[in-house]
Amino acid sequence: MILDPSCECANQKNLLDDIIKPRLSSLFIRVYDFFTYYRWQFDRANVDPCMEPMDILEKLPFMTKSDYIMLESDAFLKADRHLFCVETTSGTTGRPKRRFQSINDEINEMRLATRVFAGFDISKDDVVLFMDVGNPSIYIWFAKALESLGVKNTIYYGIQSDFDRSLKGIIRLDPTVIVTVPSLLARSYETISRMYSENKETNLRKIVYFGEKINNSFRKRLEDELKVEIFSHYGGTEVSTIGGECTQHNGIHIYNDVNYPSLIEPKKIDETIYEGEIAWTTTQIDVQPVIKYRIGDVVQIDYSACPCGRTSPRIKVIGRTDDSFSILGEKFYYDTILNAVYSDINETGFMQIILSTEQKKDKLTIILPEKIKSKEKEILSALYQTSELEYFLSEDFILIELRFVTNDFFSNRKIPSIIDKRIY
């Protein structure tokens, strides 16, 4: 379903001239007046907010996660009595980032999420089941977007590490759509596959994933064995929903009338496809907008029209720029683990993380030099007290093993910080 053909199917040049440029101009003038951070960046770049918007976008610097934190006090003041809610990131990079939202932000982002879910051809007759292990807040937001499409039957289904026991109610609920993260689906798939093979008269026809990439072989296995169609929902806390797949399954449509993309050092692949790290400018966020914000994804972006009728660019996420990994949709950074390991040791040393799957769980094998083996108990204690790991460890979703190697293992060689051997 194409919910908004006037934007989604528009000639891209007309869309740029009639909608995107005016929105960018309005954004630049507004942020210069109300945000000290942006005024500083505009002045430093010798940019007048009334200039041609694409020239401004070209001259302004790319924005980092550290820059984003500088926006918080401005955003809080901007929200004033119009503050609707506050979202907080996981904090796996250090201090959690806060995002303040107004009711206008909520409405605008809900419209965009509704466009994305419409692209999955979800209708009022669907039963949508959200499957996860932790905080249901994002699913409440998804449910609101689906309600705008007329979907009344949405269910949050929290599961535990004993998949055989905690998943047994799914067949009775008989969803037509399951929304979840790929790694959780992979860990629980043996149970899900058995349940659906034993119960043929079920109506599951779509799986929507978000938060992580999905392994192509696992995706094909889901399609072949469960006879379902797979869709990707793409976004992030600081930028909210960005886009999603359509029924042609040839990349993620990004709605550039709302989130405008910029590539860092783009490389041309062919006449319509470019590759590089992507940054986003949010043209319809009121309280805490970002301009050329780097979320850390390396993508290929295709500007050719899609057979589905949409003309918006499509992206495929092909990598990350940082040393990070995801566990059941929660993002963790190498530095977070490194700081926990060396928290009680005088100086920070070397470490390697190997991710694997064992007993349907994510296993973190942490490779360390043998000179700190005497601190093994303290290191394990620090890891178990790391706030984001604590929940997953206490609920038995993660295994941790410390492995000590000779001190010269980390010398005279370039070894990867993270090796991910998981298949999902």
Residues forming CATH 3.30.300.30 domain(s) in the chain: 324-420
Residues forming CATH 3.40.50.12780 domain(s) in the chain: 1-322
Distance, CA of 22 to CA of 283 (rounded, Å): 10
> Residue 236 belongs to what H/E stretch?
strand 229-236
- Tell me the sheet residues that pair with 223: none
What CATH code is assigned to 1-322? 3.40.50.12780
Condensed to tens digits (0 to 9), the pLDDT of residues 78-129 reads 776 666 676 665 544 345 667 777 888 888 889 999 999 999 999 999 999 9
Scan for tokens 């590539």, then name that residue.
263
Q: What is the pLDDT of residue 118?
A: 95
Q: What pTM was estimated for this model as a whole?
A: 0.82
Ordered DSSP codes for 14-28: HHIIIIIHHHHHHHH
Whether the CB-CB separation of 328 and 133 falls below 8 Å is answered with yes
pLDDT along the chain (424 residues), means of 10: 91 96 97 93 96 97 88 78 66 58 86 94 95 86 93 94 92 97 90 94 96 88 96 91 95 95 94 96 92 94 94 92 80 84 78 90 92 92 85 88 88 78 78
Pure H helices in 60-102: 65-70, 72-79
Q: What is the pLDDT of residue 292?
A: 97
Look at the domain 324-420 and name its fold: GMP Synthetase; Chain A, domain 3 (3.30.300)
Distance, CA of 135 to CA of 147 (rounded, Å): 20
The interaxial angle of helices 334-341 and 376-384, nearest 10 deg, is: 130
Q: What is the pLDDT of residue 94?
A: 47
Number of H helices, E strands in the chain: 17, 19
Q: What is the pLDDT of residue 95?
A: 54
The interaxial angle of helices 103-119 and 137-148, nearest 10 deg, is: 70
Q: What is the pLDDT of residue 89?
A: 59
Q: Nearest Cα to 315, choosing from 300, 330, 303? A: 300
Q: What does the buried/exposed string (b/e) look like for 66-102 if buried means 16 or more CB atoms within 10 Å of the residue's CB?
A: ebbbbbbebbeebbeeeeeeebebeebbeeebbbbbb
